[in-house]
Chains A and B, each alone.
Chain A
Amino acid sequence: MTMICVDAVKENLENVTDFVTGQLGEKADGKFRFELELICEEVFINICNYAYGENVGKAEIEVSKLSDSIVVKFIDSGKEFNPLKKADPNINAPLEERNIGGLGIFMTKKLSDNLSYERLNGKNIFTITKKL
């Protein structure tokens, strides 16, 4: 397992996605890399936008590469938020009637093989597994 801890600010997006995709090695194909990057962006930006309100807090990202999957854990000490409880957007509605939000978490769910959330010692721990 390797980890980084960064300020949860948008300017760190590239640091976070580079760190996570950097664990893939050169063999990972473009599509897998794209999808993993998308997942990381959506989860990290969500933390940046909502976890700490107006304040700046930390986000810790742990990556474990297993033989058949990659596991990415996002940990923050912000307010309690379970992304899995957020309702999915209505993807059948005509676009004129759609709200602008909710797509990021929705795509994260679709592109991951397993997601889990726990609130532990004042921390949000969101764990994503994606099969290689």
Chain B
Amino acid sequence: MEISKAISNQNVIITLKGRLDTMTAPQFDDEVKNIDFDEVETVTLNLKDLEYISSSGLRVVLALYKNLKSKGGNLKIVNVSNTIMELFSMTGMADYLDIEQA
């Protein structure tokens, strides 16, 4: 799992590469906890190179969304593969998330 973060003004882009599973989700969670939700307007998650995600990864996405919403921020998820999109749909998360498929 590789995580990179780019910050410009009030926008943060987080790119996830590899596998977001039980073992690697805490790394992503640490990145999320480092975000200054009082300052940030939009967080964009780029999933272009994300090969795999399990419920532990989805939980961090959910926590990120909740943190942003509570401070008036937005979450965008981009470059989502078909298989990962199916999981967002299956869990009813797709109904509420701003998602752009790959």
**Distance A18 CA – B69 CA, assembled complex (angstroms):** 38
The answer to whether B91 has its CB under 8 Å from any CB of chain A is yes
Known contacts A10-B23, A41-B22, A95-B96; A100/B91 CB under 8 A = no
Asked whether, in the complex, the Cβ of A30 is within 8 Å of the Cβ of B22, the reply is no
Asked whether, in the complex, the Cβ of A42 is within 8 Å of the Cβ of B54, the reply is yes
Asked whether, in the complex, the Cβ of B92 is within 8 Å of the Cβ of A100, the reply is no
The answer to whether A98 has its CB under 8 Å from any CB of chain B is yes
Known contacts A13-B22, A100-B62, A103-B58; A92/B92 CB under 8 A = yes
Asked whether, in the complex, the Cβ of B66 is within 8 Å of the Cβ of A13, the reply is no
**Distance A69 CA – B65 CA, assembled complex (angstroms):** 37
- A residues in contact with B63, CB < 8 Å: 100
Asked whether, in the complex, the Cβ of B87 is within 8 Å of the Cβ of A107, the reply is yes
Asked whether, in the complex, the Cβ of B92 is within 8 Å of the Cβ of A37, the reply is no
Asked whether, in the complex, the Cβ of A107 is within 8 Å of the Cβ of B91, the reply is yes
Selected from B21, B22, B69, the residue in CB contact (under 8 A) with A96 is: B69
- B residues in contact with A71, CB < 8 Å: none
**Contact code string A73-99 (vs B, CB < 8 Å = 1, else 0):** 000000000000000010111111010
Asked whether, in the complex, the Cβ of B96 is within 8 Å of the Cβ of A100, the reply is no
Q: Which residues 76-97 in B have Cβ within 8 Å of A in the complex?
A: 82-83, 87, 90-93, 95-97
- B residues in contact with A106, CB < 8 Å: 91
Asked whether, in the complex, the Cβ of A31 is within 8 Å of the Cβ of B83, the reply is yes
**Distance A94 CA – B56 CA, assembled complex (angstroms):** 19
Please give me the residue from chain B that is nearest to A110 by CB atom: B90
- B residues in contact with A11, CB < 8 Å: 23
Chain A positions within 8 Å of B, measured between CB atoms, are 10-11, 13-14, 30-31, 34-35, 37-38, 41-42, 45, 89, 91-96, 98, 100, 103-104, 106-107, 110
Chain B positions within 8 Å of A, measured between CB atoms, are 21-23, 52, 54-56, 58-59, 62-63, 65-66, 69-70, 82-83, 87, 90-93, 95-97
